[in-house]
Structure 1
Amino acid sequence: MMKYKLFGKSGLRVSEICLGTMTFGQEWGTGADKEESKKMFDSYANQGGNFIDTANRYTEGTSEKYIGEFIAYDRDRFVVATKYTLYDRRDDINASGNHRKNMMRSVESSLKRLNTEYIDLLWVHMWDETTPVEEVMKGLEDLVSSGKVHYIGISDTPAWVVSKANTLAELRGWSAFVGLQIEYSLIQRTAERELIPMAHHFGMTITPWSPLGAGMLTGKYNDSIPSSGVRLTEKSLKINERNRAIAKEVSAVAQELGVSPAQVALNWLRQQHSQVIPIIGGRKASQIEDCLGCLNFTIPQEQMKRLTEISAIELGFPHDFLNLPTVRVNVFGDNEEKLIYHRNT
């Protein structure tokens, strides 16, 4: 079932769905134990999946440890992506951030937990707004040159920073970011303003996290709201009338096509661009299996239009301004006809 794509401007071949492993481990109180984590991994791998996403911070390092064990039988088959930036030592002021010291320390720790000699794809987890771009890119280039990292990507960072970084890399002959990881779904489309056009310009693969809107797009919150007094979470914060209307339309399309709402939400993303590879996750194997069902069909154009329209956002300035209709106006001055284009506002 699984097909493969080149990752960004590289020759790396990855599966068209990525397995997210933030729920591998129970340290955060919401994840899966080792046995269920292995079942999720096997469900994905048995259908040809080879692209695994984790981070040094996930479940206090347990996610990386589990993955290291799960892939040990054939390490080279899998494309393992992990991240650095977030702390993994609370009492060490330099154990977080994008700077070189934390980068090198974090990568060495991830290599030990993953029980591997190399990381296929290293993500900058998020921008810290203090480390110079030059320091980050030179450090990443040194990791690639050493063979400890093969490719680099960046997550949760302003478009202008990524643009500066890749332009600098091109100028210096360093490794550039080939992937962009962002929150992107039918209920979170603001990345379409700057980040996604930027990624297309640089030929970067986009790996959306939370493609199901923290579960909102599965339909389980269509007719329910959190009870009063419940601590606000990512899920409950997303439960509002706009998002519920989008989720109900997703469920309606799913019923028409005879598939699950989760599969519809994933395929809306996949059909946006060939370089979009959603990250799926869950707490049990059945959820992974359901998500992988999106590989079996394509959403027809009519339903795609309905989903796109109900979830539409305002792009804002300057996009709305630049997309205004233009009219040709003749201006006469000094006995000479001049042609200008005037915004019809």
Structure 2
Amino acid sequence: MKYEILGKTGLRVSELALGALTFGEDWGWGAPKETSARLLDLYAEAGGNFIDTANFYVDGGSERMLGELLKGRRERFILATKYTVESDPTDVNSAGNHKKSLVASLEASLRRLQTDHIDLFWVHAHDVLTPVSEIMRILDDQVRAGKIGHVGVSNWPAWEVAQANTLAELRGWSPFVGLEIRYNVLTRDAERELLPMARAFDIPVFAWGALAEGRLTGKYLTGGAGRLSVIEAEEHTKAGSDDVVREVVRIAEEGGWTPAQVSLAWLRSRPGVVIPILGATKEHQLVDNLGAVDVTLSAEQLARLEATSDFTLGYPHDMVRQEVTLSKVYGSRWREIADHRTTVGRGVNDGLVPPPAV
């Protein structure tokens, strides 16, 4: 396992994160404590140090289990949890990103995790009712109090993350140093705005749904069954999605890999820092996923995956990358311009793929 720097913090985080959504069976699926303990040990033995959970995972059971499993070795891990989601249906203020919700959720998480600080505290979801200035201020208060090391954000639009970090910089508050989003070869919407924004602000991306809840293992092509999220159920009906999975399987067969390893390797090949979050309920699944660090896809294989996914950036990205636009905006000699902020040697590039060849 190699390590990435968490944005501008200097904190070292492993190139694969361990998701603890599967720690516990109270939701009718997941892994019992004994299996979860072995998963954690396997991950640590491989050099992994980043554990991701949330206050509502398994109704708090994930945090409680981690609190037990991390006794005596808490400081060897970067521990991340989240707040936003409702914790008490009878309390109207137990949901959202406002101060009362944050403080109550943080204190409850600290108790369940049996620790006095959270290394990375995520804002779990977008909340239009709470001003961004209030969120960033109260997060900074908790950082200054020593209860939070750093703050991150999940499931927010790119423009609001940029607003939040600009505001934090201007006021001397703690900025978001991590971005957790749904991202995989079947779901590439983040490439339009979120990933370019993250690169511009030097924010590493943590990809949840990295295997599309098992879809990218290829098991559904042969009638496999499993738990599907609402998002995954929609992806099952997306035109051409099976073609992408079949291409993943073909590439896996070519390289002697598994489809899961190919899918994770694709994520790790993306521009900027992209850290897949692994979620497993069985030891062999995690061992397989960890093997992705040894998989490097060729340029030809990457091109095949991206061509099969039939993803387009859309307006205005496609328009500003057209030959006529590039020539008018940057001059007829735009191909001769090399800029470290774009694709070196390929001219101006505002997205994640090079301008079209002409």
- State if a TM-score over 0.5 links the two structures: yes
Q: How many residues align?
A: 328
| Residue 233 (structure 1) shift | 5.0
Whether the 8 Å contact between 2:126 and 2:156 is mirrored in structure 1 is yes
Kindly provide the CA deviation profile for residues 170-196 of structure 1, in whole angstroms up to 9, marking residues without a partner as x. Answer: 000111001100000000000101111
Could you give the per-residue CA deviations for residues 117-143 of structure 1, whole angstroms, max 9, x where no partner exists? 100000000011110000000000001
- The structure-2 alpha-carbon separation of the partners of 1:235 and 1:321, relative to structure 1 and needing over 3 Å to count, comes to closer
Q: Which amino acid aligns with 2:80?
A: A
Structure with bigger strand share is 1
Structure-2 separation of matches of 1:273 and 1:69? 37
The 8 Å contact of residues 22 and 280 in structure 2, kept in 1 or not, is answered as yes
Using the alignment, how far apart are the partners of 1:12 and 1:225 within structure 2? 40
1:148-297 matched pairs, under 5 angstroms: 148-224=147-223, 233-240=230-237, 241-297=239-295
1:321 partner letter: M
User: Aligned pair 1:299/2:279, yes or no?
Assistant: no
Contact 1:89–1:95 under 8 Å retained in 2: yes
1:27 and 2:32 are equivalent in the alignment:
no
* CA displacement at 1:234 relative to structure 2: 4.6
Pairwise CA distance, 1:323: 1.1
Report the residue type matching 1:51 in the other structure: F
2:79 aligned with 1:80, yes or no? yes
Question: Residues 128-167 of structure 1 correspond to what in structure 2 (within 5 A)?
Answer: 128-167=127-166
Structure 2's unaligned 5+ residue stretches are: 335-358
User: Quick check: which has more Rg, 1 or 2?
Assistant: 1
TM-aligned CA distance change 1:63 to 1:141, over 3 Å: same
* SS, match of residue 265 in structure 2: helix
Alignment gaps of 5+ in structure 1: 330-338
What whole-Å deviation, never above 9, does each CA across 1:200-242 have from its counterpart, x for those lacking one? 1100000010011121110001243879xx9985544322341
Alignment of 1:43-122 (within 5 A): 43-122=42-121
- Partner Cα separation in structure 2 for residue 73 and residue 274 of structure 1: 34
RMSD: 2.0
1:332: which partner in 2?
none
TM-score norm. by structure 1 comes to 0.91
TM-score scaled by length of structure 2: 0.88
SS in 1 for 2:51: strand
Tell me how far apart the structure 2 counterparts of residues 174 and 239 of structure 1 sit (CA, whole Å).
Answer: 42
The one-letter code matched in structure 1 to 2:177 is V
Per-residue deviation, 1:311? 1.4
The SS at the match of 1:150 is: strand
Name the SS of the counterpart of 1:126 in structure 2. Answer: coil
* SS of equivalent residue, structure 1 residue 254: helix
